[in-house]
Amino acid sequence: MITDDLIAAARVSKAWPFQEAMKLVKRYPQGKRDADGALQPVLFETGYGPSGLPHIGTFQEVLRTTLVRRAYEVLTGGAPTRLVAFSDDMDGLRKVPDNVPNKELLTANLGKPLTRIPDPFGTHESFAHHNNARLCAFLDQFAFDYEFVSASDCYNSGEFDEALRQVLRHYDAIMAIMLPTLREERRRTYSPVLPVSPTSGVVLQVPVEVVDAENGIVRFEDEGETIEHCIFGGAAKLQWKVDWAMRWYALGVDYEMCGKDLTDSVTQSGKIVRELGGRKPEGLIYELFLDAKGEKISKSKGNGLSIEEWLTYGSEEILGFYIFREPKSAKQLHAGVIPKAIDEYWQFRAALKDQPLDKKLGNPVWHLLSANAEALGETPAGAGEALPVPFSLLLNLVGVLGAEATREAVWSYLGNYIADADPAAHPALDDLVGKALAYNRDFVAPTLVKRAPQGGEVAALQALDAALAEAPQDMSAEDLQTIVYEIGKREEFGFENLRDWFRALYETLLGSEQGPRMGSFIALYGIGPSRKLIADALAR
């Protein structure tokens, strides 16, 4: 399925997943090889901090990394890869999130590793296990090919012991990298190693002295007592930037992206992994999502759009589409972006099948349809499928129907617009009918205010009504649009431009400042019901 033409086009494509994947092609011109020359999988990693519930900002890393992974497989003709979703669940809980129950339970366990804190939801063996399960359930919903890895499992099982030994061997060099980056007060207590107190179970932020690097023995103060303590087997974890570098070294990570807020961490962790004898992964530093107020989304504050909220108003494909585009530009993430994203996604999807290969590889939907495809190819399954009615038009229809808006009512009007108006024949459209009903209920209906027509608008609406009275019931949307257009151009109605005419139609007939192509709306809603809207407006 990965043809020579596809490889050649991918190698010159400007699409960002291919640009990112080319970094790995340059790193491993002959593929990733072990000491014996055997081909090894290139390892992609995403990180997750389970101190809060999973959200879209967490998920986007898995999606974007998957897109780079697939791009690399295309570029190399199918070289082996792995994707690890790594949970930093050995971290000590620093504060109680705002959006969880039983906050007192978490408060009583502040400072302990997340996998050693009871689950406030009462469903899993620990707080981290609960949040990890939420993450995996969502990733599984998208059928991602990934391996979940827990930091606690790696520490507790001894998998990280050799890497921890290497950290202790290079302890002074790591301190020399980190101390200049810290404030004076922080320098006095900073240590790359955070021992877990054998008394309280809390992850300690205390100065540490290396006693025996080979056996993992360190010395520190715990509740006024000097303790010598082996850090192996889950008895300690590492400070964040050192921990990140150690993980790259221990697992052999080749690619990991992160948000702009971790730019300094990438720099310091990159220096540390080189000190350990490893290599900093390739990666993309992306801009962060913002909430409706333009503020950074925080999983502890819960101020972002949740996964469940997005899926109430938009589909999984639209979420992927919105996440794909312009990763280096900050974007707001709130319900208001969904309608436009839906229509843009379907425009790209409809265009995909007949595009030349170079255009296909620049089409976001090519990458999204390829993310979980059984086989990569020039034209993935689903390319070219079109949506018979734009989502914006569905929203306008539902808004006009008002209290009468039901799935059945919407489909009865869709019969005016498409020949085979049957939910079974158009499952994607039927799903969007449900989304439109929900979006209208929560965001559109509360804001709709239809004003009375003024001045020349009255005569223009009367002229439109008269024209529709003469029109055949099956007149096409294009011919209806021409009628609307010609009325707006008539000088006697006094519109300075057509934009003013269309705004008047939206505000008087639909109750909003923006709207659809009126010809399409009239065709969908029907000439008779549209004349009733005009009559109601003229009667105000």
Q: Does residue 229 lie in a domain region? A: no
* Residues 261, 367 share a domain: no
Residues in the chain: 540
Average pLDDT over residues 440-458: 94
d(CA 400, CA 409): 12
- Encoded tokens for 327: 């990763």
All residues at 6 or more sequence positions from 415 whose CB lies less than 8 Å from its CB, including other chains? 421
- Is 365 a member of any domain? yes
Domain assignment present for residue 190? The answer is no
How many CA atoms lie less than 13 Å away from 80 in the CB half-sphere?
A: 6
Least-confidence region, from 53-62, 483-492, 496-505: 53-62
- The torsion region of residue 286 among left (phi > 0), alpha (psi -120 to 50) and beta comes to beta
Return the pLDDT at 505: 97
Q: Is residue 303 part of a domain?
A: yes
Using DSSP's 3-state secondary structure scheme, residue 121 falls into coil
CA atoms within 13 A on the CB side of 308: 6
Domain ends where: 227, 253, 286? 286
User: In which domain, by residue range, is 534 found?
Assistant: 391-538
List the CATH number of the domain containing 109.
3.40.50.620
Average pLDDT, the chain: 94
The first and second tokens of residue 335, run together, are 């319900």
State pLDDT tens for residues 244-256: 999 999 999 999 9
Percent of the chain with pLDDT over 70: 98
pLDDT value at position 308?
84
Instruction: Say if 377 falls within a structural domain.
Output: no
Pairing of strands 81-87, 42-48: parallel
Q: Which amino acid, one-letter code, is at 509? A: L
Give the HSE-up count for residue 277: Cα atoms under 13 Å, Cβ half-sphere: 10
How far is residue 372's CA from residue 515's CA, in Å, rounded to a whole number?
A: 35
Same domain, 309 and 423: no
Q: Which of 303-312, 332-341, 363-372 has the lowest mean pLDDT?
A: 303-312
pLDDT for the residue 53: 65
Same domain, 362 and 406: no
Residues 281 and 359 placed together within one structural domain of the fold = no
Are 258 and 309 in the same domain? no
Choosing from 286, 321, 342, the residue where a domain stops is: 286
Query: How many Å apart are CA 476 and CA 107, to the nearest integer?
Result: 65
Question: What does the pLDDT average to over 453-477?
Answer: 96
What per-residue confidence (pLDDT) applies to 43?
98
Read off the pLDDT of residues 282-320 as tens digits, 9 standing for 90 and up.
999 999 888 888 887 765 566 667 878 898 999 889 999
> Which pLDDT does position 300 carry in this prediction?
53
Statement to judge: residues 246 and 303 lie in one domain: no
| 18, 143: one domain | yes
Q: Give the pair of three-digit tokens for residue 491.
A: 């000088």
Residue after which a domain boundary falls, among 286, 317, 348: 286
What is the C-alpha to C-alpha distance for residues 329 and 111, in angstroms, rounded to an integer?
Answer: 35
| 68-99 tens-digit pLDDT | 999 999 999 999 999 999 999 999 999 998 87
Q: What pLDDT was estimated at residue 117?
A: 96
* Number of domains within the chain: 3
Can you tell me the distance from the alpha carbon of 371 to that of 369, in angstroms, rounded to the nearest whole number? 6
Give pLDDT tens digits for 188-212: 999 999 999 999 999 999 999 999 9
Quick one: 328 and 461 in the same domain?
no
- Is 518 found in the same domain as 417? yes
**Tens-place pLDDT, residues 392-428:** 999 999 999 988 899 999 999 999 999 899 999 999 9
Q: Same domain for 52 and 29?
A: yes
Residue 233 belongs to a domain: no
Q: What is the pLDDT of residue 52?
A: 67
The region that residue 322 occupies, defined by phi over 0 for left and psi between -120 and 50 for alpha, beta otherwise, is: alpha
Residue with the two structure tokens 């979940």: 148
Do both 10 and 125 map to the same domain?
Answer: yes
**How many angstroms separate the most distant Cα atoms in the chain?**
95
3-12, 230-239, 444-453: range with lowest mean pLDDT = 444-453
Instruction: Give mean pLDDT, residues 42-64.
Output: 85
- Nearest 5°: CA angle at 264, between 258 and 267? 90
In a domain, 205, yes or no: no
| Structure confidence at residue 135 as a pLDDT band (50, 70, 90) | confident
Note if the pTM is more than 0.95: no
40 and 167 belong to one structural domain: yes
Position 445 in a domain: yes
Alpha carbon of residue 46 to chain centroid: 13
| Position 257 pLDDT exceeds 90 | yes
